[in-house]
Structure 1
Amino acid sequence: MFDDHVNGEYTEFRDANEGDFTWWSYVNMKSDLKTALGFARFFYPDIIEVEGGFLLKDKFSEKYFDLWKKECQENKLNIEKIMNLYQVRDFFHMNVDEDENVEEQIQALGKAIKLLWSLSFKDRFPSREIVVSLFEEDDGELFVTVYEDEK
């Protein structure tokens, strides 16, 4: 999914323990059960369907849905794309160590989200074509969105 060096702290701990330190060791040391449960929901997000639209529950707002419904002229695909749009950097913007390789970490997180969300939607909605799109804007910012392709 990504190289170990993306997380310098992990590689330092691994090297200090002569290779007898795994990602499971790292997670056990850095997090707790409640955080792990939060990440389970984060990487396997709940979905709601509103007026036939496939929407991320934790991102949903009735106010914005009504706004985008008008703005997108009730085009389901465009409503889903904009309602489910999120800047990857914003998922964890409060606890960032700016001295590290943040941009590389954001890229790795974006790829992980795309992979795991795609697998989770395929698992739950096998007969539907759910697309997880990861893309970079001209300014270099990375975004993720989800929508149903109705080909």
Structure 2
Amino acid sequence: MGQDAPPNQARRGNLLELTLKARDYSEVSSWIDSAGGDLDSFDFISTKFTLGDWISISEVFTPDFILVEGCVIWDRCFEQQNFDLWWKTLSGDRTRIEATLNQLRLWQLIGYRGSAEDLLAARSIADSIAQCWRTRLGERFPEIEFALSVAETEDGPIIRFNTVRTST
């Protein structure tokens, strides 16, 4: 895929996804071309990933979430002292606390360059993670509605979520 090619766009729920297929990413397509034959991205990862890679990556896409003081929090970012500090700082505003704590900054997880292709790949990954989180949250808390977003920042995408609350 050339850097000037328009990204595929799709809408899932309220997330606008910019998609890049693995076979269109230069590292994968170069490997497929050099290996020859009828190979695809599944073949690429089967030669590169270990079981440790797979189990770790699966936790990125299907993390655990916990309920604390009426807030749904990504368990990886929960520390009681930090939660208490944000509770005090944000005057117990559960939505703002969730939006502050429940963030995955993709650049902290994946190293990539700033090329247009890498940025599109990072956004595609972020959109996939957000969709999986939406499903996971819905399974874990079926009675709660969530707002998920992928925010573009100067450093790259951030996946965020919070509970949708109605004013009383």
CA distance in 1, matches of 2:165, 2:114: 41
CA shift at 1:70, angstroms?
1.1
Unaligned runs of 5+ in 2: 1-18
Note the aligned Cα RMSD (angstroms): 2.3
CA shift at 1:36, angstroms?
0.5
Matched, 1:129 2:145: yes
Residue of structure 1 equivalent to 2:125:
109
1:18-40 deviation digits (Å, cap 9, x = unpaired): 45112221111111111101111
Question: What is the identity, as a one-letter code, of the residue corresponding to 1:144?
Answer: I
Residue of structure 2 equivalent to 1:11:
29
Question: What is the identity, as a one-letter code, of the residue corresponding to 1:35?
Answer: D
Residue of structure 2 equivalent to 1:149:
164
1:92-148 deviation digits (Å, cap 9, x = unpaired): 24xx467783322221221111112112222332222122211124x4642211111
Task: Give the SS at the match of 2:143.
Answer: coil
TM-score under structure 2 length normalisation = 0.76
Task: Give the SS at the match of 1:134.
Answer: strand
8 Å CA contact 1:85–1:143 kept in 2: the answer is yes
Structure 1 residues 136 and 100 mapped into 2: Cα distance closer, same or farther (>3 Å)? closer
Question: What is the identity, as a one-letter code, of the residue corresponding to 1:40?
Answer: S
1:32-83 deviation digits (Å, cap 9, x = unpaired): 1111011111100101111111000112122221111111110111000001
Residue of structure 2 equivalent to 1:31:
49
TM-score under structure 1 length normalisation = 0.84
Q: How many residues align?
A: 148
Identity %: 20
Question: What is the identity, as a one-letter code, of the residue corresponding to 1:28?
Answer: S
Equivalent of 2:80 in 62, 70, 75? 62
CA distance in 1, matches of 2:20, 2:142: 27
CA shift at 1:5, angstroms?
5.3
Structure number with the higher strand fraction is 2
Question: What is the identity, as a one-letter code, of the residue corresponding to 2:79?
Answer: S
Task: Give the SS at the match of 1:101.
Answer: helix
CA distance in 2, matches of 1:123, 1:49: 14
